[in-house]
Amino acid sequence: MKIERGVTLLELLISISLVSLLSLGVLYSMRVGIDAMDKTNQRFMKNRRALGAEKVLAQQLAGLMPATVECGGPGAPKAPMFQGEPQTMRFVSSYSLAEGARGYPKLLEFTVIPGENNEGYRLIVAETPFASANSLRGLCVGIRADPLTGQPSPLFPPVLSRPDSFILADRMAAIRFVYRNEMPPPVFEQWFPAWQFGKWPSAVRIEMIPMQPDPANLHTGSVTIPIRLTANPYYVQTD
């Protein structure tokens, strides 16, 4: 009589159990690897956005153009097209987000607004094409005495959020613009929370504090950007 050898039910159950355990171990390892890769990608994107925001701000301020604006109707006095306040900044730049340094000049309008669900603050910027001084007509509504210095200061309307505004920084505990003005010796320079009318600022510092700083990640932080202009920046009166 011929006897055929095979596996018992117990051996089959043990084999299935071993295969299941091995499969579970492989799937768990894959899950851990995918989660680690996802966290690495998220950290990379956050770091890239932080570096990108600082680079954009530097290029936009480096491209500042010495445009002037009429503060009132035709024949009104002209002033440098620069608005600098603690949470608002306006100027004309040769660098734009959409076209970089090779596009047409843009009027850039920065402002600080509450974040999503009123959590923290975000810095946004809106761009408007700039063709000539005529495109700025009506933007400066007059000249008033600065409440801090008593010097003449252009009066601009507030910067408002627009549907096409771009978010440069988000989830910040605080955001503030500070401006460096050249001073006569022996002071040479001094920082102000608002631009002092008369000269272009020699530098702008954007102070940003993240809400939840993480030492493992880069954050959009404070950045100081010098401004170099060769045009006459002083207030002039038209005939």
The tens digit of pLDDT for each residue in 60-103 reads 888 888 888 887 666 667 778 888 888 999 999 988 877 777 77
Query: Does 169 fall in a domain?
Result: yes
Domain count, the chain: 1
**Size (the chain), residues:** 239
Confidence of residue 29 (pLDDT cuts 50, 70, 90): confident
pLDDT over 90 percentage in the chain: 6
Query: Does 144 fall in a domain?
Result: no
User: Cα(223)–Cα(220) distance, rounded to whole angstroms?
Assistant: 9
Query: Does 147 fall in a domain?
Result: no
User: Cα(167)–Cα(165) distance, rounded to whole angstroms?
Assistant: 7
Query: Does 174 fall in a domain?
Result: yes
Closest CA to 43 of 33, 31, 32, 35: 35
Query: Does 69 fall in a domain?
Result: no
If DSSP codes are grouped into helix, strand and coil, which group holds residue 209? strand
Reading the block at residue 145, the tokens are 């005495």
Query: Does 151 fall in a domain?
Result: no
pLDDT of the residue at 231: 47
For 163-213, strand residue ranges (E) read 166-182, 189-192, 203-210
**Within 10 Å of residue 229's Cβ, how many Cβ atoms?**
14
Residues 195, 83: contact at Cβ < 8 Å?
yes
Q: Could you give the C-alpha distances from 84 to 15, 68, 88, 206, in angstroms and in order?
A: 75, 15, 6, 11
Query: Does 162 fall in a domain?
Result: yes
Q: pTM higher than 0.85, yes or no? A: no
The string of pLDDT tens digits covering residues 160-218 is 888 888 888 888 888 899 988 876 677 667 777 777 666 788 889 888 888 776 555 54
Q: Could you give the C-alpha distances from 228 to 134, 180, 204, 231, 233, in angstroms and in order?
A: 24, 12, 11, 9, 11
Query: Does 2 fall in a domain?
Result: no
What domain range is 116 assigned to? 40-64+83-131+156-226
